Amino acid sequence: MTSEANKEIVRRFNSQVIAGGDREVFEALMADNFVNHTAPADAPNGSESMWNTFNNVLRPALSQLTVIIHDQVAEGDLVTTRKTIRGLHTGTFLGVAATGTPVAIDVIDIVRISDGKYIEHWGINTLSSILAALKA
């Protein structure tokens, strides 16, 4: 696949899976042997760990969930994306009761694509500073 095709797969994942919660698209875009290298050491690192993050952590806590892609760079089978996940904190978020506060989580992630599917993921984000601000 071309770098542009791989970038489009990542854009589709962000808009339809993260923002839209589409399980069918998630299943179509995830390789069976997917590995999330960013998963905590004591947590599962397969595709279900990613679904859990979006569907059971972000979506119940943040209404009006959107993903804004600022930049994408692709080389070979790797796509790096700088993005912001935004929402309104209207539900319990990792133990923090709803505050009604707008939330913006900045993310940089790298995804390896194989045969049109996510096979590996690495990422960094500002979630810990967002949680600290919500607790304050």
CB 126 within 8 A of CB 113: no
Collect all residues with Cβ–Cβ distance below 8 Å to 54 and sequence separation of at least 6: 17, 18, 21
pLDDT at residue 40, rounded to an integer: 80
What CATH number corresponds to the domain at position 70?
A: 3.10.450.50
Confirm whether pTM is higher than 0.85.
Answer: yes
Q: What is the pLDDT of residue 42?
A: 82
Interior angle at CA 87, CA 103 and CA 56, nearest 5: 105
Instruction: Name residue, tokens 């969930």.
Output: 65
Confidence of residue 136 (pLDDT cuts 50, 70, 90): confident
Give the tens place of pLDDT for each residue, 72-105.
Answer: 999 999 999 999 999 999 999 999 999 999 999 9
Taking only the tens place, the pLDDT of each residue in 27-75 is 999 999 999 999 888 878 899 989 988 888 899 999 999 999 999 999 9
pLDDT band at 8 (very low <50, low <70, confident <90, very high): very high
Specify which residues 16 forms β-bridges with.
Answer: none
Residue 129: per-residue pLDDT: 94
Q: How many domains does the chain have?
A: 1
Give strand pairing partners of 63: 88
Residue 33 has what pLDDT? 96
Tell me how far apart the alpha carbons of residues 3 and 50 are, in angstroms, rounded to a whole number: 23
Question: What is the C-alpha to C-alpha distance for residues 90 and 64, in angstroms, rounded to an integer?
Answer: 10
What does 47-76 look like in DSSP terms, one character per residue? Answer: HHHHHHIIIIIIHHHEEEEEEEEEEEEEET
pLDDT of residue 118: 98
The whole domain housing 130 covers 3-135
Cα 98 from Cα 78, distance rounded (Å)? 36
Q: Quick one: pLDDT at residue 115? A: 96
Token reading at 23: 């399980």
